[in-house]
């Protein structure tokens, strides 16, 4: 297997993570910080691209890495319409959709494809996107709801979820496509997903108000209570923010710091303890639901994300869910490794890069008479 040198780029709100891998070995890992006052000068997220590119380029040059040595560049794939999982080659439609945020969500991840293309052009190598945030492999029964014209779309930590499952399978001498898993990402957002033979057939929409509460997200709430809440003088913008920015820990406790909340819970503070235990309870319930979606045929329950560093959280989930399948913890994230691994599979001929067409994965007409 060739030792390809691959640059991965993952833009966040106030920083851009970059890493260069040679084979599976990370030879450069940096978190390039961006001044908030500088970012505030740009009206739209996508306008930040030249500024971020310059800072990343300076960082890489300081490290002594020659761009001409790169075999591929991979960018986080924000802004895209729903796609099946996999590795996507950088094309005009993909770049255009990322540039304008075709999925309707403005997030720094939409800078990923454009930045990847810029650096790939410098290096004279291909650019890719791997398992973008809008990866959607829902089975039809998981998409329909009880309201005609309203259907489920999912937004999950697909990159980390799939790579966790791929790495766990490899560790156990199996292929991801041979196994069934419930895979969880437990961090600032919480994704709980069902993976059947290499496809993520169900999961919660982390920006749409589904699943467990999280540090900044409300999770699932009773529909009638939410309808009443929305007609109590709250604006549409404020209500949407509860799903994405101001729900969960922020709503109850005014902080999104999971370590602070867990420490206050451990100290016996009444409300933080109840909020912390409720989140864990809701995670456990969602794991059970995903296991049922797999008809109980589960090879493993895999836990990833920053909060998985908390041993008490892992212990409680294990105690509640190990009757379903073995629980394995992978604290932290595989996102940078996942992007590099996807490109490597394509370069090695183990996987064929897909073309992003931007066409819908499904049609409402399929669900209506």
| C-alpha 360 chain-centroid distance | 20
Domain boundaries, the chain: 5-134+336-357, 140-333
User: CB neighbours (10 Å) of residue 363?
Assistant: 8
CATH number of the domain at 140-333, please? Answer: 3.30.420.40
103-112, 226-235, 243-252, 290-299: the lowest-pLDDT one? 103-112
Are domains 5-134+336-357 and 140-333 of this chain identical in fold? yes
Q: What is the mean pLDDT of the chain?
A: 95
- Looking at residue 206, its pLDDT comes to 93
Give the pTM.
0.92
- Looking at residue 14, its pLDDT comes to 87
- Looking at residue 2, its pLDDT comes to 57
CA distances from residue 251 to 73, 78, 123, 255 in whole angstroms, order as listed: 39, 26, 46, 8
How far apart are alpha carbons 144 and 262 in whole angstroms?
36
CATH class of residue range 5-134+336-357: alpha beta
Q: Percent of the chain at pLDDT above 90?
A: 89
- Looking at residue 367, its pLDDT comes to 87
Q: What is the pLDDT averaged over residues 247-269?
A: 97
State the pLDDT confidence band at 60, using cuts at 50, 70 and 90: very high
Half-sphere exposure of 113 (CA within 13 A, CB side): 28
How far apart are alpha carbons 219 and 128 in whole angstroms?
32
For residue 22, give the nearest of 65, 61, 57, 86 by alpha carbon.
Answer: 65
For residues 10 and 4, the answer to whether their CB atoms sit within 8 Å is no
How far apart are alpha carbons 245 and 223 in whole angstroms?
19
Per-residue pLDDT at 1 exceeds 50: no
Q: What is the pLDDT averaged over residues 50-69?
A: 93
């Amino acid at each position: 297997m060739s030792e390809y040198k691959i640059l991965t780029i993952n833009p966040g709100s106030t920083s851009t993570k970059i890493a260069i891998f040679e084979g599976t070995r990370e030879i450069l890992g940096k978190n390039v910080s961006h001044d908030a006052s500088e970012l505030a000068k740009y009206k739209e997220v996508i306008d930040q691209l030249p500024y971020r590119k310059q800072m990343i380029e300076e960082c890489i040059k300081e490290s002594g890495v020659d761009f001409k040595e790169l075999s591929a560049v991979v960018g986080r794939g924000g802004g895209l319409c729903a796609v099946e999982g996999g590795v996507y080659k950088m094309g005009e439609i993909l770049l255009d959709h990322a540039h304008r945020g075709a999925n309707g969500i403005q997030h720094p991840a939409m800078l990923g494809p454009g930045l990847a293309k810029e650096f790939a052009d410098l290096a004279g190598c291909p650019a890719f996107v791997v398992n973008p945030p809008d990866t959607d492999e829902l089975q039809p029964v998981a998409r329909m709801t009880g309201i005609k014209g309203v259907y489920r779309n999912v937004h999950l930590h697909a990159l980390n979820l799939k790579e966790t499952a791929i790495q766990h399978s490899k560790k156990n001498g199996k292929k991801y496509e041979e196994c069934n898993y419930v895979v969880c990402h437990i961090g600032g957002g919480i994704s709980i997903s069902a993976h059947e033979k290499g496809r993520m057939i169900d999961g919660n929409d982390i920006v749409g108000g589904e699943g467990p509460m999280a540090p900044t997200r409300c999770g699932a709430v009773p529909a009638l209570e939410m309808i009443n809440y929305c007609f109590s003088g709250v604006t549409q913008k404020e209500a949407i923010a509860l799903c994405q920015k101001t729900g969960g820990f922020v709503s109850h406790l005014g902080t999104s710091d999971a370590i602070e909340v867990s420490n206050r819970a451990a100290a016996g503070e009444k409300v933080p303890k109840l909020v912390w235990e409720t989140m864990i309870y809701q995670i456990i319930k969602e794991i059970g639901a995903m296991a049922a979606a797999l008809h109980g045929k589960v090879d493993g329950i895999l836990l990833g994300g920053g909060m998985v560093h908390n041993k008490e959280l892992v212990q409680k989930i294990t105690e509640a869910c190990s009757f379903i399948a073995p629980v394995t913890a992978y604290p932290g994230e595989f996102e940078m490794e996942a992007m590099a691994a996807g490109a490597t599979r394509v370069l090695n001929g183990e996987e064929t890069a897909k073309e992003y067409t931007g066409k819908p994965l499904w049609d409402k007409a399929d669900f209506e008479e």
